[in-house]
Amino acid sequence: MQRRKFSREFKLEAVRMVRERGVTIAQASRDLDVHANVLRKWVRELAADPGHAFPGHGQMKPEQMEIDRLRRELAKLKAERDILKKAAAYFARDSI
């Protein structure tokens, strides 16, 4: 069975049903054919970060983009450090 994917608009409308129209999560989940726990998660995500909730497939939140950039930079710096260590060891051996 393949995992279902929902668009950002669908998620926003589902949360809007619960929050603005007063539909219960149980009723909305039955109407939309979505598990109630999934709908609760969407409500929590939107409440926690309304501007960046449900970024979509292949898109990241700004915080995640910064973390990825820092990880790449750290990997590059470690590689440079390792090269310098090897060069220092090589030249130290040659001078003896």
Q: How far is CA 46 from CA 52, 87, 88, 93, in A?
A: 8, 52, 53, 60
Check pLDDT > 90 for residue 59: no
* Of 40, 20, 19, nearest in space to 29 by CA: 40
Q: Which tens digits make up the pLDDT trace of 12-58?
A: 999 999 989 888 999 999 999 999 999 999 999 888 877 777 776 66
